[in-house]
Structure 1
Amino acid sequence: MFGIPMRQMSGQRYKRTNFDDDDTISNGGTPPAVDFHPGIVFKGGLTLWQRKTTLEKALIILLILLAISLIVIAAILAVRESQLQDLRKGTDYCMTPECVTVASSIITTMDRSADPCKDFFQYACGGWIKSHPIPSGHSRWGTFSVLWQENQLVMKNVIEKVSVKTRSNAERKAQDYFVSCMDKNKTVEALGAQPLLDILRGLGGWGISNKSGTWQQNAWNLQTAVEKVHMIDVSPLFNMWVGGNDRNSSSNILLVDQSGLGLPERDYYLNKSITEDKVLSGYLEYMTTLGMLLGAEDRNATRDDMIKVIEFETKIAEITIPAKDRRDEEKNYHKMRIVDMQKQFPFLNWLQYFNSMMSVVNITLKSSEEVVVYAPKFLKNLKAILSNAKSSDDGKNTLNNYLMWSVVKSLAPYLSKPFREAKKTFTQVMTGVTGNEEMWRYCITDTDVVLGFALGSMFVKEAFHGASKAEKMIDEVKMAFKKNLPNLHWMDDETRRAAIDKANAVVDMIGFPEYILNVTRLDKQYQRLQINKSEYFMNNFRNLRFALVKNLEKLRKPPKKNAWGMTPPTVNAYYTPTKNEIVFPAGILQAPFYDQNFPKSLNFGAMGVVMGHELTHGFDDQGREYDKFGNLRPWWNNQSIEKFKQRTQCMIKQYSQYKLNGEAVRGEQTLGENIADNGGLKSAYYAYEDWVSKKGEEVALPAVGLSHRQLFFMGFAQVWCSSSTKEADHLQIVSDPHSPAKYRVIGTLSNSKEFAREYKCPVGSPMNPKEKCVVW
């Protein structure tokens, strides 16, 4: 039935009015003049029924029962025929294979026992969560994960095709890398720790292990040690790279930022006991185990040395600026010359450091070269920490151990099974993951990381068949975003016009970069990367240097337009503020996010919201600071900025009230993504409304019992169906700019008056609070 009333959707069920079979009509006790009711009395004292023989009575009862049965059967057949006629006409339900399939998926994913006005995440995803336990080798499992597994299978099938007709050298390198990772000849096991020991020896040795060479404390120099480690694209103490200049998007510039922690986030170190805290003690065990595997002779002595490394990392954590305090791009941007860096942060010879790094691309710098430093306060505080450490032999020993540990941690996963098992044990402590992922899946993902555009070329040719309809959807979402701007009374007219200009200037990149289908251009991209089927460790080590050179050689060149930062099979999307680009890889342009044969309500609710999300990033608390050309500059009226910030405070407060396993979501840290979720939902919904106004209402999905406007919100929610371990939840809260999946659904929908209207949620209910936070 089309358009079931919302009482059913709020957890209540229709009650049919059932009439008893023996209901009678009373007329005051006077029977009708003529009737065949068996209770009528004739003259003489006997009823007609009493005069019948037993056989006659049985035959009469049988005839009555047969008549009733025939009436019931006829009624059923009539109803069924009517329904079949409706289905044949296609007037009531969409009965295409795609509609039937997606309807079934929606129903099995839902939990209809939940009240959508109390907890829409449970209502939309309860069935999925119940039937999808987290698989072995994963700490988190959701719709994204399932789609990625499907993409992995496509990539496995194409990469394992042994054919001399492979079209490009790059694709053959991807095949060879995959073979080296699978290591069916056990080459990795035979080499053991030796490849990493050779690297450590070349870096001057690791005092923990004599097998790594003899570390000479008297000859050790921080400057040289930092340069050597950074030259293999490992970044302890700080991070340096070449990227777009925020204030001049037509040029690249040297960039420096805080770095140096072995754990994902500073919170893992602060106010913790190394021996009592679960994560730190697990980290210590991992460090000690790797030290022993690399040739250390005394476990207790190795453990003591690693404790000092953790204590050093804790000092770095204490000066690391929290993510929530780094959201203002204007405040982060500090351009200075190398000579100015030398005055402010003299713990290194910066000109020597930069020239050492740039020597790999034959570029020589002068002290007047400009650098953007994102964390000058961090570097100033780092100077004091390093000065103190260098003042004693024990401090120098710890510094060397810290630098070498950063290398060991980065490269150990490419060694033999004992190293991988040690990593697995520590990963279980960090994320709660148990068991192992299938090796081929690990290796496909690894190949995507190293040679993703070569592998992506094969993936696209196998599985992607164009995106013209997706391109049209982006245009529709953009139009809805722009149409909504005049309704934002907090924004002044000048800023509104500039916002429309920026939205018009957004560049859409969909599917994959065209060059990957050009053999010559694809081969050129990976020409300098050497891959050998039997050298898994060295393939990765060479890739680090390859990536470093590719990055540093951009310094004297303008930023490449339409350069992709995600590979084609990736199930994700992104926005680049310095280029004002939104990017949607082929990997996500598939069901359940997008299928051109699905109802448009679901496409707009899933993929349309993703598109609106990325578009809104250009106007979140960070993206709004960049103009339509990607330049960081003030282009908003001050009054509009102040009103914008007032609205974002509402959202910070809202999301900070949500808790996962008793731990509060960080509203400031997740602000940008929350703004994008809310703005994306709104733009996509009104884009769908516009589509309906032009194309007409869609026919209903069978058996689901939801209108298409309700299905829009269901499509949005169900792409976030997921489960995760408590450890993974904690890791997300402390380090991820995104809110947990549950609150991406609940937080966003509870701010939507359109959602509340379509699901008839009472004002004041959890999914329809009186006060709503609205930015865009």
Structure 2
Amino acid sequence: MVALIAYAATFALLALALLLHRRHGLAIYLPVFNFTTTDANVFNDSSLDQDVPGGCDEKEVSRVARVLASSLNTTADPCKDFHSYVCSGFRRIIRTSLLDDMETQVTTSISRFFHRIARGVKKPLPEALTKAVEFYASCVKPVHTNGRTHALASFFKEQDFSFNTKIDGFLETTLELQLRLGLEIFFTLVVDPYPRFQETSRYVYLGSSRLFEEWKRARNVLFMSGSYTSYASAVILATGFDENAAFDLARRVWYIESKLMTRSIKPKRVLAKKKLESKWKELLHRYSRGALMGTYKLSLRSKPSAFFHQMMFKANDAEQSVYITWEVARHLASVSGYVETGSIPDRQVYCFDMTYVFYGPAISAAVLFPSVNNSRLDQVRRMVRTLASEVYGSIEDSDWVLPETKAKLARKLRLVTWKLGYDLNLESWRGLNDYYRRYPIASGIFLTDYVKTNEAHGIKFFELKRQRREVDFSFRSDIVGAFYEGPNVLVIPAASMLSPLFNYGASPAINYGLLGSVIMQNLMRAFGHNNMLTDGSGSPIAWFPEERADFEDRYQCDRMSEVRDSDVDPPAGVSVGAQAFFRAYKRASAARGNRSCSLPGLERLSSDQVFFVSRCLLRCHDVPGTTDGVHLEDHACNLMAKHSAEFANAFNCPMDHSNTLCDVW
């Protein structure tokens, strides 16, 4: 499954590897959309049967219709191999999903738009976006160094930091640098956004620092090429260190680093586990401004944690002081571009990535706000309400689920919190400007701008940690998909509401078949695996053994169609909730009537056929591993068709085509 949101929200202020892929981002509260009332009539909403006035976006609808039409191979028999019927018109094997392709397109569009405005625009930009542009401009500006007078030396002087300064302690200094200045020297702190399954507290733990891991590899290259000492000397000189002593210090750094990096060298002493954890908790509370360790637990079991503690206990006090000073100097010299390790990346790409780490919500908003506005959000919200209402109907009509269990399942559905579009207070430029109010205006000296922006980013991180409840975890608006998260929350980011996944005013056959499929599959996750054990408010669902076994069999009846990964909680199969889903689509179609835009190239298909074709299009990439290219029976599209009486009716398949039905309800 595509990684979402922050299954853990990371204080990875420079985790560039996760850029545009990590599930940390944004939701819209207009207000938070959920069914919190205990009144079951909340799902009996007659307004869903009345169409909302408004036209459609003909360009979007025409574009998605052309995609659907070009995918079809009408010579194939949909009753025998629906995957071939829908997907083989492309005349090639589809390697990536529609969702992944969309996310790539969104990422590219955001990058291109930002680079265009960074070159200069006549109209004034919102304050938040202006700060992003100026930070980027500071980064791409050519670096000019003049002996010891550049910003790195100034930083060391301002922080009273030098190779001759004794640090207060390896752990103390590392955490202060990370939590006060945002410098991830050896690791990144990862903070769970909500408690893990059957836990009451969130965890803080250590993750890998991308920059430190890259340095480990670059260090080996420098050593093998004989360039390590000259590189280290250049970094040391950039801090304002005495030129005559730089070479000797570089050799000492190499000795200490080799000692700390070599796993075969074991530490001579270690701190008792309880004392070590106590020290960590004390420092985390101090340097996080009280945001951490109040409602969080600490875990020191990760590999980055073990490696860091090995390093900490291998070196004596003097070696620790030299090495942590070296790492700060190397880190800042590398980030700022004063000293390169060898392969020089495209500076514009590097600087855009760096800028996006800090200003991603503002940069993406410039592309998303014009399209994903309140009108589009209202249409998606209406889809959500229709889907939830029909799922509720299926739960109520189930004749095999015990009444007590049925009530718990219905309660869970009512308590789902839906986050649509953008994060709290970030759905407007006013909110974004306020969010970035304390971020500095770039001075043009990039290292200074980087350090000050990093510091402001850290302050904002802890500010949000103090203010937000577990259910208010952040997510990113530029991610494509829908995601069911820990505290009974379903997230639909703004980028998911763009064409072709969602098309403004288009026929429900297309919008439900595409975005509706993604939403429905993730809504069904609320009832599967570990999620089936609670009702969304912390109360357990007491399944009888036979009842639970029956439910799990139904939930997993077509799991062969899914590409398996390491997720503990994989998505439901395509047939789970399918009958409620089809009813929701038909209900929306009846309300819409004949007011949808025409679908060029699809005139020969009925509305129901377009609905099923759209559902399959999402899964054209999902081909079982075969060497002969044959599309097997257990492909998702074929199982969806095989297990649906509605599909058989739509495509006039033989009556025995749907003799094996598959749905949890």
Task: Rate the CA distance shift 1:479–1:370 in 2: closer, same or farther, 3 A.
Answer: closer
Q: Is the 8 A contact 1:573 1:582 kept in 2?
A: yes
Residue 439 of structure 2 aligns with which residue?
529
Q: Is the 8 A contact 1:238 1:258 kept in 2?
A: yes
In the alignment, the residues of structure 1 paired with residue 77 and residue 521 of structure 2 have an alpha-carbon distance, to the nearest angstrom, of: 27
Residue 689 of structure 1 aligns with which residue?
586
Q: Confirm whether residue 259 of structure 1 aligns to residue 207 of structure 2.
A: yes
Matched ranges for 1:128-527 at <5 A: 130=92, 142-154=101-113, 162-163=121-122, 165-166=124-125, 168-181=126-139, 183=140, 185-187=141-143, 213=163, 221-231=169-179, 232=182, 234=184, 236=186, 239=189, 241=191, 243-244=193-194, 255-260=203-208, 285=221, 294-295=231-232, 309=261, 311=263, 344=274, 346=276, 349-358=279-288, 361=289, 363=290, 369=294, 371-373=296-298, 375=299, 378=301, 392-393=314-315, 412=334, 415=337, 418=340, 421=343, 439=348, 447-465=355-373, 466-467=375-376, 468-486=378-396, 491-512=401-422, 515-516=425-426, 521-527=431-437
Task: Rate the CA distance shift 1:98–1:585 in 2: closer, same or farther, 3 A.
Answer: closer
Aligned counterpart in structure 1 of residue 65 of structure 2, from 103, 107, 112: 103
Structure 1 residue 604: Cα displacement: 0.7
Q: Is the 8 A contact 1:609 1:716 kept in 2?
A: yes
Alignment deviations for residues 458-477 of structure 1 (CA, whole Å, 9 cap, x no partner)? 33553344222222111111
Q: Confirm whether residue 715 of structure 1 aligns to residue 614 of structure 2.
A: yes
Q: Is the 8 A contact 2:86 2:613 kept in 1?
A: yes
Task: Rate the CA distance shift 1:406–1:620 in 2: closer, same or farther, 3 A.
Answer: farther
- Percent identity, aligned pairs only, is 15
Task: Rate the CA distance shift 1:596–1:397 in 2: closer, same or farther, 3 A.
Answer: same
Alignment deviations for residues 715-769 of structure 1 (CA, whole Å, 9 cap, x no partner)? 2343466799xxxx9xxxxxxxxxxxx99x944762561286356889999xx9x
In the alignment, the residues of structure 2 paired with residue 393 and residue 558 of structure 1 have an alpha-carbon distance, to the nearest angstrom, of: 40
Q: Which moved more, 1:545-554 or 1:522-531?
A: 545-554
Task: Rate the CA distance shift 1:555–1:125 in 2: closer, same or farther, 3 A.
Answer: same
Q: Confirm whether residue 611 of structure 1 aligns to residue 508 of structure 2.
A: no
Structure 1 residue 537: Cα displacement: 4.7
* Amino acid across the alignment from 1:354: L
In the alignment, the residues of structure 1 paired with residue 84 and residue 597 of structure 2 have an alpha-carbon distance, to the nearest angstrom, of: 26
Structure 1 residue 357: Cα displacement: 1.7
Residue 571 of structure 1 aligns with which residue?
480
Matched ranges for 1:549-564 at <5 A: 549-554=459-464, 557=467, 559=469, 564=474
Q: Is the 8 A contact 1:111 1:127 kept in 2?
A: yes
Task: Rate the CA distance shift 1:653–1:313 in 2: closer, same or farther, 3 A.
Answer: farther
Structure 1 residue 591: Cα displacement: 1.0
In the alignment, the residues of structure 2 paired with residue 203 and residue 646 of structure 1 have an alpha-carbon distance, to the nearest angstrom, of: 62
Task: Rate the CA distance shift 1:609–1:387 in 2: closer, same or farther, 3 A.
Answer: closer
Task: Rate the CA distance shift 1:497–1:514 in 2: closer, same or farther, 3 A.
Answer: same
Q: Confirm whether residue 750 of structure 1 aligns to residue 658 of structure 2.
A: no
- Please give the secondary structure, in 1, of the residue aligned with 2:418: strand
Structure 2: give runs of 5+ residues left out of the alignment: 1-55, 234-246, 626-630
In the alignment, the residues of structure 2 paired with residue 198 and residue 291 of structure 1 have an alpha-carbon distance, to the nearest angstrom, of: 25
In the alignment, the residues of structure 1 paired with residue 401 and residue 212 of structure 2 have an alpha-carbon distance, to the nearest angstrom, of: 38
Q: Is the 8 A contact 1:477 1:687 kept in 2?
A: yes
Q: Is the 8 A contact 1:575 1:614 kept in 2?
A: yes
User: How many pairs align?
Assistant: 571
Q: Over alpha carbons, which structure has the higher Rg?
A: 1
In the alignment, the residues of structure 2 paired with residue 527 and residue 616 of structure 1 have an alpha-carbon distance, to the nearest angstrom, of: 40
Structure 1 residue 688: Cα displacement: 1.1
Q: Is the 8 A contact 2:405 2:543 kept in 1?
A: yes
Residue 64 of structure 1 aligns with which residue?
none
Q: Which moved more, 1:555-564 or 1:588-597?
A: 555-564
Residue 670 of structure 1 aligns with which residue?
567
- Please give the secondary structure, in 1, of the residue aligned with 2:276: coil
Alignment deviations for residues 212-243 of structure 1 (CA, whole Å, 9 cap, x no partner)? 84697xx7844324423532263856735485
Structure 1 residue 603: Cα displacement: 0.7
Q: Is the 8 A contact 2:189 2:206 kept in 1?
A: yes
In the alignment, the residues of structure 1 paired with residue 466 and residue 57 of structure 2 have an alpha-carbon distance, to the nearest angstrom, of: 59
Task: Rate the CA distance shift 1:382–1:536 in 2: closer, same or farther, 3 A.
Answer: closer
Task: Rate the CA distance shift 1:345–1:445 in 2: closer, same or farther, 3 A.
Answer: same
* Amino acid across the alignment from 1:239: L
User: CA RMSD of the aligned region, Å?
Assistant: 5.9
Alignment deviations for residues 631-654 of structure 1 (CA, whole Å, 9 cap, x no partner)? x45244354555555666767777
Task: Rate the CA distance shift 1:464–1:387 in 2: closer, same or farther, 3 A.
Answer: closer
Greater RCO between the two (CA within 8 Å, min separation 6)? Answer: 2
Q: Is the 8 A contact 1:109 1:127 kept in 2?
A: yes
In the alignment, the residues of structure 2 paired with residue 164 and residue 693 of structure 1 have an alpha-carbon distance, to the nearest angstrom, of: 45
Task: Rate the CA distance shift 1:96–1:558 in 2: closer, same or farther, 3 A.
Answer: closer
- Please give the secondary structure, in 1, of the residue aligned with 2:121: coil
Q: Is the 8 A contact 1:240 1:254 kept in 2?
A: no
Alignment deviations for residues 580-611 of structure 1 (CA, whole Å, 9 cap, x no partner)? 43333332212101112433211111111232
Structure 1 residue 110: Cα displacement: 4.6
In the alignment, the residues of structure 2 paired with residue 179 and residue 454 of structure 1 have an alpha-carbon distance, to the nearest angstrom, of: 16
Q: Is the 8 A contact 2:622 2:636 kept in 1?
A: no
Matched ranges for 1:639-650 at <5 A: 639=545, 644=551
Aligned counterpart in structure 1 of residue 491 of structure 2, from 556, 563, 583: 583
Q: Is the 8 A contact 2:188 2:209 kept in 1?
A: no
- TM-score, structure 2 as length reference: 0.65
Alignment deviations for residues 640-679 of structure 1 (CA, whole Å, 9 cap, x no partner)? 5555556667677775xx6xxxxxx43xx23534227664
Task: Rate the CA distance shift 1:652–1:711 in 2: closer, same or farther, 3 A.
Answer: closer
Structure 1 residue 523: Cα displacement: 2.8
In the alignment, the residues of structure 2 paired with residue 418 and residue 177 of structure 1 have an alpha-carbon distance, to the nearest angstrom, of: 20
* Amino acid across the alignment from 2:189: N
Structure 1 residue 499: Cα displacement: 2.1
In the alignment, the residues of structure 2 paired with residue 403 and residue 749 of structure 1 have an alpha-carbon distance, to the nearest angstrom, of: 60
Structure 1 residue 701: Cα displacement: 4.3
Q: Is the 8 A contact 1:502 1:628 kept in 2?
A: yes
Q: Is the 8 A contact 1:171 1:454 kept in 2?
A: yes
Structure 1: give runs of 5+ residues left out of the alignment: 1-93, 135-139, 206-211, 266-279, 316-340, 425-435, 659-664, 730-741
In the alignment, the residues of structure 2 paired with residue 472 and residue 556 of structure 1 have an alpha-carbon distance, to the nearest angstrom, of: 33
- Please give the secondary structure, in 2, of the residue aligned with 1:553: helix
- Please give the secondary structure, in 2, of the residue aligned with 1:672: coil
